[in-house]
Chains A and B, each alone.
Chain A
Amino acid sequence: MNDVSSSGGPTGVQLRHINVTVRYAAATKPFVDSQALAAESVGHLKSRVLEHFKLQDSPPGEGKSYSLALGEDLLTNPNATLGSLVTHGDHLKLSLVEQFTQG
C-alpha cells in the first residue's frame, strides 16, 4: 500500500472549488460536497466525513479507526490539500476505509 503525502499547490489554485465524493462501504449513499475548497486539508475533510457518517476515529486498540483513500493509496498526510490530489478536472473521488486487524 502506498502513501500519498503531497502538501498542496500554488495558493491561487487553492481558492477554486472542487466536487468531492467519498464512498464508505457501510453506507449506501456517499458523502458528496460539490463546493469543497481546494485549499481544504485532508484532515479537515476526514473530520467532516466521519461526522457525516456518524463515526468516530479511535486510537489503535481502543476502537475502530478510519482513513481516507485515493484509489489504493491511503491519505496519510492530514495537511495535504484536496487541490493537490486532483489530477484532472475538478472531481475528487475518495473512499473512507476502516482499518482492520487480522486474526
Chain B
Amino acid sequence: MATELEKVLLQQHLTEVLALPESCRWRLEKDDSVLLGVTVVLHSSKAPQDLYKARLSWTDFSKPVSLKFLNMSTDVDTDAFAWPVFFGSRPTAYVCCVPYTAEGHVLHPDWAGLPQTRYEEPDNPLLYALLTLQHALDTTYEGRYHA
C-alpha cells in the first residue's frame, strides 16, 4: 500500500521528469484513479503516428511498476487493441512480461531471486520506468496489436 511519503515522492519524481528534455516526447499526467501512478501518452520512434496511452502504477516504490496500456477513449485496461507489440508485450493477456514490470514478476516469481532479473529500486522509479519503456518501444516496436 502506498504511503503518504510515497505520494509526495511521486509528485517530486514527476516534477523531476517533467524538467528533463526527454519528457517533451511524453504527455505525462498524475493518475488520480490509482493511489500511486501516472498516465503517459507515448509512441515509438519507428511509428510516431501510433499513439499509446499507458498507466504506470506502483503498490510501493521498492517493487516494479505495473504497466497497462489503456484504450485512448475509455481508459479501460482490458483492450488488446490498445497494446503495442514490442519486446515482452502480451496484448491478449494485458501484460508486458519483462523483469521491470510487476506483471512479469507475478508470472515469474523466481525472477526476484535471480541476479539477472531481480528488481533493484532506482533513484527515480518513474523515470526508470519511462526511459526503459521508451527504449523498448523505440528499438523493438512491431506495430499495434491486431487479431
- Whether the Cβ atoms of B120 and A63 lie closer than 8 Å is no
Q: Are A61 and B108 in contact (CB under 8 A)?
A: no
Tell whether B35 is near chain A: CB-to-CB under 8 Å: no
Query: Lowest 6 CB-CB distances: which A-B pairs, in order?
Result: A26-B122, A25-B131, A103-B97, A102-B88, A63-B115, A28-B123
Residue B135 interfacial (CB < 8 Å):
yes
Question: Hey, which chain A residues are within 8 Å of B131, CB to CB?
Answer: 23, 25, 95
Q: B23: CB under 8 A from chain A? A: no
Assess A62 versus B116: contact at CB under 8 Å? Given A28-B123, A97-B135, A103-B88: yes
Beta-carbon contact of B116 and A58 below 8 Å = yes
Judged by a CB distance under 8 angstroms, whether B62 is at the interface is no
A-B contact pairs, 5 of them (CB 8 A): A28-B124, A60-B116, A64-B116, A72-B138, A101-B98
Q: A26-B122, A64-B115, A101-B99 are in contact. Are A1 and B88 (CB under 8 A)?
A: no
- Does A101 contact B116, Cβ atoms closer than 8 Å? yes
Determine the distance from Cα of A103 to Cα of B144 in the docked complex, in whole angstroms: 20
A-B contact count (CB 8 A): 62
A103 to B104, Cβ gap below 8 A?
yes
Let me know if A100 and B99 touch, CB within 8 A: yes
Is the Cβ of A100 less than 8 Å from the Cβ of B87? yes
Contacts of B100 in A (CB 8 A): 100
Tell me if B115 and A101 are in contact (CB < 8 A).
no
List of B residues within 8 angstroms of A62 by Cβ: 115-116
Q: Which of B99-117 contact A (CB under 8 A)?
A: 99-100, 104, 107-108, 111, 115-117
Alpha-carbon distance between A95 and B87 when the two chains are bound, in angstroms: 18
Say if the beta carbon of B18 comes within 8 Å of chain A. no
Complex Cα distance, B135 from A43, in Å, reads 21
Interface centre among A26, A27, A65, A72 (most CB of B within 10 A): A26
A32, chain B: closest CB distance, angstroms: 14
- Measured CB to CB, the closest approach of chain B to A62, in angstroms, equals 7
In the complex, the answer to whether B127 meets A100 with C-beta atoms within 8 Å is no
Answer whether residue B92 sits at the interface, using C-beta atoms and an 8 A cutoff: no
Asked if A25 and B116 make an inter-chain contact with CB atoms under 8 angstroms apart, the answer reads: no
Closest to A93 in B: B21
CB pair A25–B127 under 8 Å, yes or no, is: yes
Are B45 and A27 closer than 8 Å at their CB atoms? no
Q: Which chain B positions have C-beta within 8 A of A64?
A: 115-116
Indicate if the CB atoms of B99 and A26 lie closer than 8 Å.
Answer: no
B128 at the interface (CB under 8 A from A): yes
